[in-house]
Each structure stands twice: as C-alpha cells, then as structure tokens.
Chain A
Amino acid sequence: MPRVARAPLVIAGLLLGSASVSAMGLRSFVALPIEKGGTVLRLFDSYNFDQNSNVLVTNLAYGISSKQTIFLGLPYQSSSGSDQFGDLNVLYRHVVWQVDDRVGTSRLGLLGGLVVPTESDRDVRLQAGAVATFYRRRHEWDIDALWIQGLNDAPDAARYDISWQYRLTPASYPEWGPATEWDGVLELNGRWIEGDAMVHQVTAGLQWIHRRWVLEGGVVQDLNGPQHTRLVLSTRVHF
C-alpha cells in the first residue's frame, strides 16, 4: 500500500488506538489508573465530516499491577468504498513516580510498545513516550507524548495530548456512596506523520461518569493543515 494511502490508517491507529482512561481525557487512553487484575473496555468512534469517514477503535486496558498496565487498540476504518482494520496498537505503561495526597494525585508513567500490522504489506513500528497526570480537587490535567519509530518502509510519527478536565457537577461528592458526575474536557492535541507537518487540534467535550461506565463525546477541530472537523463519541466499561 503506498505511503499516502495508508496514512489515514496509521494516524487512526496512533491517535485513537494508542495510549490514552476519567480519569483521563477524551483523545488518549493512557492516563487511566487501573487496579491489579482490572479491565477497562473502551469503544471510541470518530467521524470526520470533511472526509465522510469513520474510525471505530476498540481499546482494552488491563492492570498487571497498580504500576503496570497493558493497553491494546484496534481501529476499524470506514470510508466511501473501503472498510478495513488498522494496525494493532500494543502499549505498556509503567508508573515510575506517584505522590498521593488528600486532594489528588500526581503520577508519571513511561510508555513503550509496538504497532503490529494486520496486513502483510505494512511494517512494524516501535513506540515510546510518557504520560503525566495531575489531579487536584475538581481539576485533572493529563499530558502524554509518544514517538512512533517506523521500521523499514513504515513512516515515523508522533503525537501529544494536553487534556484539562473539570468536574462540573457535583460541586461536592455525597458523603458516602457512588456519585454520578459530569466533567467538561478541553484538550490541545497534536498528530504528526513523517512527510507532513504536525497537525495541532483542539478538542472540547463532556464526560458523563458513573461507577462502572463512562459516556463521553466531543468535537475535534484541526487548527492547521487539513482543517478537518470530527465528532468523537466513546463509552468505557470497568470490569
């Protein structure tokens, strides 16, 4: 497959299928804390109005321990005339630093993994990066950056996400028992693939957070480059 033709799949795999869990932003699944033995399934759908194309990413996060998490992501792209799977994204997160206190937490995790092709004409890519989370009272900031090194003919790529989440309601949790909450999300994201300029994006959305599941959605607007607009919808379930 020529480089230009496979670029959307690569981008879909990098941005949607890779590292990014509230606690977490909309566009990335890698900040999510997961308990030892816990599993979170996420379905993330992104519709591009300008290309009339859709990418559905199935993400799975599994807690090996409180410090070690495995993330898997598999995108499925649909556009006029072609439906196909993207590459399997496998990412490992190791939390190397964490400070908890009464009003929040600060964590730093290192990321490493592979992007495994699902078709024989694509090449493996290696990926490495970091994710940081700062949570204070009603505010959460998640920052992640990832470098993807292409092997053989695979292009290099990179991404970053800076996400701010603010708990809109409730202002205070109930004294005991689970609470349903609404968070507002504002993000600055960047996606780069070798041969093109970095595309910076702004994402604005809402998260409806329950004890075991989350519904979330938002709008993504390119700030440069193709100037595309996307609608993203996602659901997460904690097993």
Chain B
Amino acid sequence: MAETQEVLEIDIDGMTCTFCAYGIEKNLGELDGVENVDVSLELKKARVTMKAGESANEKLIREIILDGGFTPKESSRHSKES
C-alpha cells in the first residue's frame, strides 16, 4: 500500500549559483525526517520531501535558508504517494 509523503516547496530570493546553493542543500538534507532535498536555480526554489509520516518544520527550514545568506519567501505544501 502506498504511503503519503509531505513535500514543502519554498521560494528563495538571492540564490544565484550552484556552488553557493550547496550549503543550504546540505543543511536542509540533515534535518530530522527529511528524505530528499532538491534545489532549483531556475525557479529559485527548494523542494523538501519528508519521509512518510513526517511533517516539515517550516520555521527551521526558513532559518537554514537565512543562515545560508538567502531570503526565504512564499512556501506551499502538498502530498505525494511514495
């Protein structure tokens, strides 16, 4: 039976190059409950996919983006089946 995973997508202003984005990609990936992190320099977004049954801690995610030197903006959540 398929399980449901939460996905949080967040817009990031000021994220400009692959090498600079690595820091937030790495730190978001180390958060508890995170299964996968994708970063889009084209869309200026990060997509955080949680493990089944886990919920994204948006406050922590925003802090990591700020600590990375960028500006977190609008976010959205949706579910997908694993």
A residues lining the B interface (CB < 8 Å): 21-23, 32-38, 63, 65-67, 95, 98, 100-102, 104-105, 135, 140, 172-181, 209-214, 236, 238
Indicate which residue in A98, A105, A212 contacts B16 across the interface (CB closer than 8 Å).
A105
Indicate which residue in B14, B41, B47, B68 contacts A98 across the interface (CB closer than 8 Å).
B14
CB of B23 within 8 A of CB of A173, answer no
CB of A173 within 8 A of CB of B19, answer no
For B14, list chain A residues within 8 Å (CB). Answer: 98, 100-101, 104-105, 135
Given A66-B69, A100-B14, A179:B41 Cβ within 8 A: yes
Within 8 A of A (CB), among B26-45: 27, 38-44
**B14 (CB) vs chain A CBs: closest residue:** A100
CB of A36 within 8 A of CB of B68, answer yes
**In the complex, A65→B69 CA distance in Å?**
8
CB of B68 within 8 A of CB of A66, answer yes
CB of A22 within 8 A of CB of B19, answer yes
Given A100-B13, A101-B14, A236:B19 Cβ within 8 A: yes
Q: How far is the CB of A178 from chain B (nearest CB, A)?
A: 5
For B70, list chain A residues within 8 Å (CB). Answer: 100, 105
Interface of A is mostly: loop
Interface of B is mostly: mixed
Given A100-B13, A175-B40, A176-B47, A209:B69 Cβ within 8 A: no
21 residue pairs bridging A and B, Cβ less than 8 Å apart:
A21-B19, A22-B20, A23-B16, A33-B69, A34-B69, A35-B69, A63-B23, A66-B67, A67-B69, A98-B69, A100-B14, A105-B13, A175-B42, A176-B40, A176-B43, A177-B40, A178-B21, A210-B19, A211-B25, A236-B19, A238-B22
Contact of B60 with A by CB under 8 A: no
Q: How far is the CB of B17 from chain A (nearest CB, A)?
A: 5
Q: What is the total number of residues of chain B having a CB less than 8 Å from a CB of chain A?
A: 27
For A98, list chain B residues within 8 Å (CB). Answer: 14, 69
Contact of B71 with A by CB under 8 A: yes
**In the complex, A135→B71 CA distance in Å?**
15
**In the complex, A36→B70 CA distance in Å?**
11
- Given A35-B67, A176-B38: 4 more A-B contacts, CB < 8 Å: A21-B19, A33-B20, A37-B27, A100-B70
Given A35-B68, A101-B13, A23:B19 Cβ within 8 A: yes
Q: How far is the CB of B22 from chain A (nearest CB, A)?
A: 5
Contact of B82 with A by CB under 8 A: no
CB of B67 within 8 A of CB of A177, answer no
Q: How far is the CB of A98 from chain B (nearest CB, A)?
A: 7
Contact of B24 with A by CB under 8 A: yes
CB of B19 within 8 A of CB of A172, answer no
**In the complex, A211→B14 CA distance in Å?**
17
